[in-house]
Amino acid sequence: MPCPAHYLPPVFGDPRVTSSSAYSSSTSYQDVAPTVILDRVSKVYPSGTIALQDVDLSVKQGEFLSLVGPSGCGKSTVLGLIAGLSKPTQGDLQWTMPEFRKDLAFVFQDASLLPWSNVEENVRLPLKLAGQSKKQTQQAVAEAIALVGLTGSEKSFPRQLSGGMKMRVSIARAIVTQPKVLLMDEPFGALDEITRNRLNEDLMNLWRQKRWTVVFVTHNIYEAVYLSTRVAVMGVNPGRIVDDLVIDAPYPRTEGFRQSPEFGQYRRHLATALAEGME
């Protein structure tokens, strides 16, 4: 069975921490039913590379779970397994609510848009593949584009967009189906810091509004602490989970949270866990 996530001890004497504990029930998903459970999951590639070994992980409904880890620790593999793009070599992957499985969306690292389609057609794609007509999808597409702040760019082609805008299109495409589970594979990894921060902000607001279950892969600890309700740290050789930490801070999180001592404490804790995972 997956081991429970742990909390950091409180920072005594810091008023922000005590005030935040009042909200802790809103960010803790300890008592919430899991959506998907990985039970001693291993993944070995045909080349013999052990991508994952005995990974226990449960994703709770509505939580924002980040997977952080160095390159090659198998975080993307975990995402692929959850998405059903590949099968575990050993162990079990269970969906407690199988209908959720059909309601998932994936955001890839490099936006992965159809270069021959404009913004609108790219966002429409999932609905089109589900057999819906252009008329039926008009409103959903317009809404998704508006949610990511791209209204006005509907007719632009991907090559005319900046990296950040492409990512927004990719997110719009993911959310146009009203998914329950959102899987994101280092979505902001290739963006500059300002764009990344802005997209982090927008993603967090969307998540709070829509109550998705998010699994977010990143190698950026700042991003993970800032966004997540929980962070799982992965280690290499073989890919495994070395730490699982609840980020017990209230939303909306602001710049103030980034500057707070508890943010620093979470960050240091995760950095130590990451370093241990490299060994």
The residues of the shown chain that bind another protein, judged by CB under 8 A, are 80, 83-85, 104-106, 108, 110, 112, 114-116, 118, 125-126, 128-130, 157-159
Closest CA to 242 of 191, 192, 276: 276
Residue 91 token pair: 């162990």
Residue 133 CB, nearest approach to another protein (Å): 14
Nearer to another protein, 126 or 239 (CB): 126
Nearer to another protein, 112 or 138 (CB): 112
Rounded Cα distance between 124 and 118, Å, is 10
Residue 14 CB, nearest approach to another protein (Å): 43
| Biggest alpha carbon–alpha carbon distance for the chain | 59
> What's the angle, vertex CA 260, arms to CA 255 and CA 261, rounded to 5?
160
Sign of CA dihedral 176, 180, 185, 186: positive
Residue 246 CB, nearest approach to another protein (Å): 29
Nearer to another protein, 3 or 130 (CB): 130
Rounded Cα distance between 188 and 197, Å, is 9
Residue 262 CB, nearest approach to another protein (Å): 37
Residue 41 token pair: 């999951």
Nearer to another protein, 169 or 274 (CB): 169
Q: What is the crossing angle of helices 163-175 and 134-147, to 10°?
A: 130
Nearer to another protein, 122 or 229 (CB): 122
Residue 71 CB, nearest approach to another protein (Å): 17
